[in-house]
Amino acid sequence: NAEAKVRRLRDDLAQANRLSILGQIAAGVAHEINQPVAAIRTYAENAGRFLDRGKTEPASGNLTSIVSMTERIGAITNTLRTFARRPGVAASPLPVREAIDGALSLLSGRIRDSGVTIVKPQGNPSPMVMASRIRLEQILVNLLQNALDAVKDQPDPRIEIDLAERDDRVLISVRDNGPGLGPEAAGNLFMPFQTTKEKGLGLGLVISQEIAQELGGTLQLDPGSAKGASFTIDLRRIE
Ligand code: ADP
C-alpha cells in the first residue's frame, strides 16, 4: 500500500544518506590523517639530519612535534573506533529517561565542575523507543558535551533537556544558552571535521547523526532558537 511505499522510500533515502555520510567521514579521515603523517615524515627526516651533525637540541624539538601530531591522529582514530565498535548495539525497548540519566551520569564530573544548571525533562512522559542504550547515550553525551562547551563563558550557564511525544514520535531536545550558531556555521554543522574548537575534531555531530539514523530517527539543529542552540533527536515511539 501507499503508506508502506512511502516508508520504504524514506528508509532507502535514509540509507543512501547514511552511506554518503560514511563516505564523507572516510574521505575526511584520510585527509586529516595524511597531513600529520606527511609532516611527521619531514620532521623525522630532519631530526635524523640534525643528529648526523650532532645537533641534539633541534632534533629533540622535532621529536616533540612528532609526539603532538601522533596525539591528534590518535584522537581521531579513537573517536572512530568507539563509534565503529558498536558495543551492545542490539536494539531493545528502552525508556528514554534511562538513556538521559545514563548520559548525565557519564558526564557528572564535568557537570559538577562546570557549575552549569541542568534542567531535566519536566512532567512525567516516559516514552519508550527501540534502541541500544549505549548508542542513544552516545548521541546525548555528544550533544551535552557541545552544550557544556557552548555555555562555558556564560554568566548563568544552563542546559535544558526536553522530552515530548508527538503521534508515534519521541522528541528529545538538548538546549543551551550559549552563543548559538550563525547561519553559516549552521549550514556546515553536520560535515565531518568542521570545528570551531582548538582541540575539536568535528566528528561528534556527524557521528551522532549517523547513529540517530541507524536507530531509524533523525538528529537536527532546531531552527531559529532565540538564544543559544537547540538540537532535537526524533525517534519512533513504541508501546
Ligand atoms: P567538535 O565538538 O569536535 O567541534 P562537533 O561535530 O560536535 O565537533 O561540533 C561541530 C561544531 O559545531 C563545533 O565546533 C561548534 O562550532 C558547533 N556547535 C556544536 N554544538 C554547538 C552548540 N551547542 N552551540 C554552539 N555551537 C555548537
Nearest to 152 by CA among 122, 125, 114: 114
Written as nine digits, the cell of 149 is 562547551
Ligand 1 contacts CB of residue 178 (under 6 A)? yes
Between the CA of 53 and the centroid of ligand 1 the distance, in Å, is 46
Written as nine digits, the cell of 54 is 650532532
End-to-end CA distance of the chain: 24
Give the model's pLDDT for residue 117.
97
Ligand 1 contacts CB of residue 114 (under 6 A)? no
Torsion of CA 198, 200, 201, 202, to 10 degrees: -110
Between the CA of 199 and the centroid of ligand 1 the distance, in Å, is 11
Rounded Cα distance between 225 and 185, Å, is 14
Ligand 1 nearest atom to the CA of residue 203, by list position? 6
Nearest to 231 by CA among 106, 100, 139, 167: 139
Give the model's pLDDT for residue 85.
64
Give the model's pLDDT for residue 225.
63
Rounded Cα distance between 220 and 186, Å, is 10
One-letter amino acid for residue 65 of the chain: S
Give the model's pLDDT for residue 237.
95
Which burial class, exposed, middle or buried, applies to 181 when counting CB atoms under 10 A from its CB (0-12, 13-18, 19+)?
Answer: middle
One-letter amino acid for residue 219 of the chain: L
Between the CA of 195 and the centroid of ligand 1 the distance, in Å, is 6
Between the CA of 68 and the centroid of ligand 1 the distance, in Å, is 23
Beta bridge partners of 176: 159
How confident is the chain (239 residues) per 10-residue block, as mean pLDDT? 77 71 80 90 96 96 94 86 67 94 93 95 88 92 96 95 94 96 85 86 89 90 85 95
Between the CA of 144 and the centroid of ligand 1 the distance, in Å, is 10
Ligand 1 contacts CB of residue 197 (under 6 A)? yes
Give the model's pLDDT for residue 183.
82
Ligand 1 contacts CB of residue 171 (under 6 A)? no
Give the model's pLDDT for residue 25.
80
